[in-house]
Structure 1
Amino acid sequence: MSDRAVQENLMEDGKNKTKLFCERCSSIVLLPEKAVYSEIEFFLPHMKKKTDGTSETGETLKKYWKVNDMFEFENVGFTNTVETIKYLICADCEIGPIGWHDVNDKKAFYVALERVKHSE
């Protein structure tokens, strides 16, 4: 997501201006003003299997919506823990990961801006 697109989705206080939706099934993941924009580098596995023959298993993303309470989500599921990380997925269609959560930090759930749709 370009820096301009990020700015268009931000309120003055840094919160999300629009609803966040699953890219595949369009279920609402998060309502407006429930997350704060955060930049943190984190490697997420790809949502779809690569068909070009490369062995690349994911990508490092930097732009996230940070949610402080898991009960703020409208529709999100969690994978089993891998080391200390739980990946966030759409609870309806189970596509993901759309984000991540470190179990050592009870107040930080990250949704990748590039892994969800933004809309009014």
Structure 2
Amino acid sequence: MSSENKFEDEVVDNKNKRMVRCQFCESLMLRQQTASFEKQEYDLPLMHQKNSRAPGEIEKETLSGFWVVEDMMTFENIGFSNTLDRTKFLICCDCEMGPVGYHNIDTRVSYVALSRVRHVD
């Protein structure tokens, strides 16, 4: 199965079919049917940065599937980490792992990477 279609079973009527939880501590981030799916590319910093990188250099990976959350109050639990270029990074509010996505300060829309979270019933 290609990584592009890896999460197609998680989308029903363009919404998240199941609950979205932290992949490390199981904290509930989103209830089912509360976020819309959007296929877009975004370079999100890696969750684990290598110690050998140059100071100030951030390793990133290009991700292409995101849950779109229009209103921050939709989240059950979410935290923020660093702000960079009008973007805040989303982290688990309980274990502080992340980033699991990003928040656009100008539009106030949040994006959670499907590959950075768990989907459970």
TM-score (norm 2): 0.87
Distance in 2 between the 1:4 and 1:32 partners?
A: 20
Uncovered stretches (5+) of structure 2, i.e. residues with no partner: none
Structure 1 residue runs without a partner (length 5+): none
Aligned residues: CA RMSD: 1.9
Which residue of structure 1 lines up, in the alignment, with residue 110 of structure 2?
Answer: 109
Alignment deviations for residues 49-98 of structure 1 (CA, whole Å, 9 cap, x no partner): 347x6777110111100011101101100124212000000000000000
SS at match of 1:66: strand
The residue number in structure 1 matching 2:85 is 83
% identity of equivalent residues: 40
Count of residue pairs the alignment pairs up: 117
Q: Which has the higher strand share?
A: 2
- What is the one-letter code of the residue matched to 1:42? Y
Give SS of 1:114's match.
Answer: helix
Amino acid at match of 2:116: R
Preserved CA contact (<8 Å) 2:87 2:103: yes
Question: Which among 64, 67, 78 is matched to residue 66 of structure 2?
Answer: 64
Distance 1:6 1:103 in 2: 27
Moved beyond 4 Å, runs of 4+: 53-56
TM-score, normalised with respect to structure 1: 0.88
